[in-house]
Amino acid sequence: SKVWQLAARPTGFPTPEDFRLVTEELPAPGPGQVLVRNDVMSVDPAMRGRMNDVPSYVAPFQVDAALDGGAVGTVIASESPDVAVGDSVLHGLGWREHALLDAKHTRVVDTAIAPASAYLGVLGMPGLTAYAGLLDVARMRPDETVFVSGAAGAVGTLVGQIARLRGARLVIGSAGSAEKVRYLVDDLGFDAAFNYKDGSIRTQLKQLTPDGIDVFFDNVGGEQLEAALFRMNLHGRVAICGAISQYNNPDATGIRNLTLLISKRITMQGFLVLDHWGRRQEFVDEMSGWLREGKVKVAETFVDGIDHAVDGFLGMLRGENLGKMIVRLT
């Protein structure tokens, strides 16, 4: 059974040489354990942070040890009364073909309601991040103007759609290609979007937000954050979800216009989805309703095969994904 390990800590942008695929014996479950054949696994920007040897809210990956992350798989052997062979389970041991873990560290999911990949995206961690970040952290209200950076990704596609469904007046997004920009406007119902690689970010954002921005949901940081602060309205709220423009950049520069927070009375708040698990059921109920009614479109990009998991991860960091990047293992 194949497992991906971290071979070396990347400096700057990771390379394939930083990873190693090894083959291990398939273990048998002990009391209370299940053996899972992984069907889909997630590659997330936060995994890049865990490749650095720094203390954070989650332990760093160790060199020469297996990577891990969200996955959904099928139980093929069970020594637990709570989980049956054939069940689909969500768990934290991705980056491998088979996972052996305590049944209490799995959650049975219903793949008749939504495909396995949905539990890693629209109905999973990225979905709750979008929902809680927009509604609880940034406290978006109807009739406000919302700008989301990284809008064509797993979290961003959902932020824009939730904003629209919750009555935003104007929903603006940024992304890294003309094709993504078109998708946001034509398929997801954003009012406008721009390509941040295509000319001045500040000028493009100014043109698209004539009445300023009330809520900024930031996935990207850096220059886009700086540009958005210039456009924020009085008492605007900025939810700092991520800063992917900085993760692979050891020479990242700081934000130079933070004094705008004072004059505009802006609230800027970082958040982690793990503090918002209490909202999970409300989120799942509302999102499931939107999906049933066809009001939310699910964007996913698939990479096939355990051998290509690193390609999927690096591709996601390069922006090769539209919506959630998923590695399909079966």
Q: Alpha-carbon distance 131 to 139, whole Å? A: 10
**What's the min distance (Å) between Cβ of 197 and ligand NDP?**
8
Choices 102-110, 135-143, 151-159, 206-214; region in contact with ligand NDP by CB under 6 A: 151-159
Among 129, 161, 204, 209, the residue binding ligand NDP under the rule CB under 6 A is 129
**Does residue 323 contact residue 301 with C-beta atoms inside 8 Å?**
yes
Q: Binding pattern to ligand NDP, positions 310-329, x when CB under 6 A?
A: ------xx-x-x---x----
Which neighbouring-strand residues pair with 21?
4
- Name the CA radius of gyration of the chain, rounded: 20
Among 65, 199, 272, 295, the residue binding ligand NDP under the rule CB under 6 A is 272
66-85 binders of ligand NDP (CB under 6 A): none
- What are the CB-based long-range contacts (under 8 Å, 24+) for 86-91? 88/39, 88/116, 89/34, 89/36, 90/119, 90/120, 90/124, 91/36
Interaction of residue 116 with ligand NDP, rule CB under 6 A? no
* Residue whose CB is less far from ligand NDP, 154 or 168: 154
47-66 binders of ligand NDP (CB under 6 A): none
Residues 172, 257, 132: CA angle, nearest 5 degrees: 45
Interaction of residue 279 with ligand NDP, rule CB under 6 A? no
Query: In which element (H, E) is residue 128 found?
Result: helix 125-132
* Residue whose CB is less far from ligand NDP, 32 or 315: 315
Q: Is 189 exposed, middle or buried (0-12, 13-18, 19+ CB in 10 A)?
A: middle
* Residue whose CB is less far from ligand NDP, 78 or 245: 245
Interaction of residue 45 with ligand NDP, rule CB under 6 A? yes
Interaction of residue 271 with ligand NDP, rule CB under 6 A? yes
Residues 47, 157, 50: CA angle, nearest 5 degrees: 5
Which neighbouring-strand residues pair with 304?
328
Query: Which amino acid is it at 11?
Result: T
CA distances to 98, 107, 178, 330 from 72, rounded to whole Å, are 11, 9, 32, 11
Interaction of residue 245 with ligand NDP, rule CB under 6 A? yes
**Rama region for 294: left / alpha / beta (φ>0; ψ in -120 to 50; rest):** left
Size of the site for ligand NDP (CB under 6 A): 30
Choices 19-27, 83-91, 93-101, 148-156; region in contact with ligand NDP by CB under 6 A: 148-156
Interaction of residue 244 with ligand NDP, rule CB under 6 A? yes
**What's the min distance (Å) between Cβ of 222 and ligand NDP?**
7
List of residues 6+ apart from 23 with CB closer than 8 A: 1, 2, 3
Q: Binding pattern to ligand NDP, positions 212-241, x when CB under 6 A?
A: -------xx--------------------x
Q: How far is CA 36 from the centre of its chain?
A: 24
Interaction of residue 126 with ligand NDP, rule CB under 6 A? yes
Choices 40-48, 67-75, 277-285, 304-312; region in contact with ligand NDP by CB under 6 A: 40-48
Q: Which residues bind ligand NDP (CB under 6 A)?
A: 44-46, 126, 129, 150, 152-156, 175-177, 180, 219-220, 241-245, 271-273, 316-317, 319, 321, 325
